Amino acid sequence: MKGTKNKKTFCKVPAYHDSDIKKTGRFMFRVRQQIGCEGINRLVSGQNMGCSIGVLDTGVAPHPDLATNILAFKDFVNQRQQAYDDSGHGTHVCGIACGNGTLSNGRYRGIAPGTKLVVGKVLDHEGNGNIENMIEGIKWIIEKRKAYQIRILNVSIGVGEIQDKTRQESLIKWLGNAWDAGILVVCAAGHRGPEQDTLSPIGRGARVITVGCHDGEYFKDKPGRCETYSGRGSIRSSLRKPDLVAPGTEIMSCNAACTRRKGRYINAYIKKSGTSMATPIVSGALALYLSAHLECDNDMARKRLLYSATDLGEPWYKQGYGMVNIGRLME
């Protein structure tokens, strides 16, 4: 894996599966129905959500569905000033969390449309990154939390085992610092499953909300569904990890390669699969909840999120508390 010069690569975007867009209109709609969100996010779309989402990823493109959402952008890889995404992963993640669906008449809107974004580019065009950039990104999010009302940090990044445990512990410590600063850290379970004890190292601790992938009754016979490779916790752990699951197979969202030709936008959306896609669904759910409960601290919000989840009847080390359920969360 490639990384910044003279710095070891530590993480990368988990592998995902791009494919041609078929059966348009089905993908995000089925997700909203499945998690009890349909109808809820229409009530808050375009309103001041009262909190913003920090995203550390490959960046964000000024896609029409996201252009008005971007509060701040910082590039820790190439030190460019304007928002961009030379990979596409970060833009897709941001669209799932809070894209407003402008180019699809709302069809492909995200979970919490209208929520503002504070985006740090910590991964390069191939989705690779290093610990140093990631930590600097976390520090920046903590520093800007009050100015931009950041209450959630989305980390859709896969981290493998790091031989230098001091560096790994430093990264985990800074994620914990973000949590202690009042930011709900939401991270991907990773793609090392389906065996037990295959969670991304940053998802094993108590001061992060770890999201696995499960599509419920959808794609049951699909060999490549994300449930088959989503990272698992351990039956020996005192923590129920992952904390919960969300849909992550063939999620339609914003395409960084969207272009305008002769007055029309083309390649506006693309579908991808993985725990990276499940994670911003939970971040969006928390944004909806906090918009109505700004007084909630992290522990209260986390308990409400987990206790309102739908039990899928799966082992704890696979589903945690179950599937995120925004309908129950917002009751």
Where in the sequence numbering do the catalytic residues fall?
57, 89, 276
* Neighbour-count burial of 296, counting CB atoms closer than 10 A to its CB (0-12 exposed, 13-18 middle, 19+ buried): middle
Token pair 């975007």 is at which residue?
A: 13
Judged by DSSP in three states, 53 sits in strand
Residue (of 128, 131, 158) closest to 279 by Cα position:
158
Helices (H), 66-192: 89-98, 131-143, 165-180
Q: How far apart are CA 166 and CA 186, in angstroms?
A: 22
Token pair, residue 260, equals 């305008």
- Cα–Cα distance between 108 and 6 in angstroms, integer? 41
3-state SS class at 276: helix
- Amino acid, single-letter form, for residue 260: R
Query: Structure tokens of 2?
Result: 């490639």
- HSE, CB side, 13 Å, CA atoms: give it for residue 211: 34
Q: How far apart are CA 286 and CA 270, in angstroms?
A: 24
In Å, how far are 80, 150, 207, 238 from 77, measured between CA atoms?
A: 8, 22, 27, 37
Label residue 66 left, alpha or beta by phi (over 0 means left) and psi (-120 to 50 means alpha).
Answer: alpha
